[in-house]
Structure 1
Amino acid sequence: MTTENRTIVHNALAGLVETGDVDTLASFLSEDFVHHRSDSTTSTRTEWLAAVHAALGPTAGMRVEILHLLADGDHVVVHSRRRLPDAGPEIVVVDVLRVTDGLIAEVWEIIEPVAHAAANASWWQSARH
């Protein structure tokens, strides 16, 4: 199951990252798919695909580098580095995807601008002293 789920996510993202192919990604999502953001907002399959198309579609310009693709049971974790278009900031993203019956059913997304990484880790530094 773990290997199959990793392959499903890899195949869903491959065309998207290479060419901005949102339609292939859509074919890997369940009809009741839910996207969760760290600010507690959620979006439906349709809403999320529209946002992905706007950010990563063929003319959108965001570049994505997948750094890690890890799987355990029905969950797959994708760690990526993304460069926003028009000289926008570089961000690091961790997505946790849940795969059910061969389709991606949910994704939780955590985003951090690279420029904020040091400031966001300051609590860790002060806790160690």
Structure 2
Amino acid sequence: MNIDNKTIVQRALAGLLETSDVGALGAFLSEDFVHHRPGAVESSKAEWLAAVEAALVPLAGMQVEIHRVLGDGDHVVVHSRRWLPGPGPEIVVVDIWRIDGDGLIAEGWEIIEPIAQVAANLAWWAPPGHAERQGAQLAR
């Protein structure tokens, strides 16, 4: 059976989102899986799955809206929006996954941007207060 890399990633994430079963997600990861985050933070398979499991309770009820799933060779990119019920925070996430030759997820990179910080992040290089002034000008 030939399963494309986008399908592998979609099945792995759907299993977690639908059942909150971290073990089901783990079945899609290679034994030497590495998860990367900004700031040179890396986690092993066991460390990352433990962090995902620890986040299940505080993120209960989180909604996930997948906007794009793009595949290029052994890499799959998932662009999603996530939010908590009620007036909770909202984030945009870009995940990049690398699939190994055995059809398992070997690496993952995750970038998270809180929606509330979008204006500031558009001018990250500017002096303090610039983003607020720029936002006020755009609101006019």
Question: TM-score band, normalised by the shorter chain?
Answer: 0.7 to 0.9
Measured in 2, the distance between the counterparts of 1:123 and 1:37 equals: 19
Measured in 1, the distance between the counterparts of 2:54 and 2:63 equals: 13
Normalising by structure 2, what TM-score? 0.78
Amino acid at match of 1:106: E
Measured in 2, the distance between the counterparts of 1:120 and 1:43 equals: 26
Amino acid at match of 1:51: A
Kindly indicate whether residue 80 of structure 2 is the aligned counterpart of residue 53 of structure 1: no
Structure possessing the higher relative contact order (Cα contacts under 8 Å, 6 or more residues apart): 1
* Aligned CA distance change for structure 1 residues 114 and 60 (closer, same or farther; 3 Å): closer
Aligned to 1:75: 75
Aligned to 1:111: 112
Measured in 1, the distance between the counterparts of 2:77 and 2:5 equals: 10
Q: Is the 8 A contact 1:91 1:114 kept in 2?
A: yes
Deviates more, 1:108-117 or 1:78-87: 78-87
Measured in 2, the distance between the counterparts of 1:84 and 1:44 equals: 27
- Aligned residue pairs total 123
Deviation of 1:94 after TM superposition, in Å, equals 0.3
Q: Is the 8 A contact 1:54 1:60 kept in 2?
A: no
Amino acid at match of 2:97: L
The answer for unaligned runs of 5 or more in structure 2 is: 131-140
* Aligned CA distance change for structure 1 residues 21 and 35 (closer, same or farther; 3 Å): same
Deviation of 1:63 after TM superposition, in Å, equals 2.6
Amino acid at match of 2:122: A
Give the SS at the match of 1:33: strand
Aligned to 1:9: 9
Deviation of 1:73 after TM superposition, in Å, equals 0.3
Across the aligned residues of Structure 1 and Structure 2, the Cα RMSD in angstroms comes to 2.4
Displacement over 3 Å in runs of 4+:
84-88, 123-126
The answer for unaligned runs of 5 or more in structure 1 is: none
Deviation of 1:123 after TM superposition, in Å, equals 5.2
Q: Is the 8 A contact 2:59 2:84 kept in 1?
A: no
Measured in 2, the distance between the counterparts of 1:56 and 1:67 equals: 22
Same amino acid, percent of matched pairs: 64
Larger Rg: 2
Deviation of 1:55 after TM superposition, in Å, equals 2.0
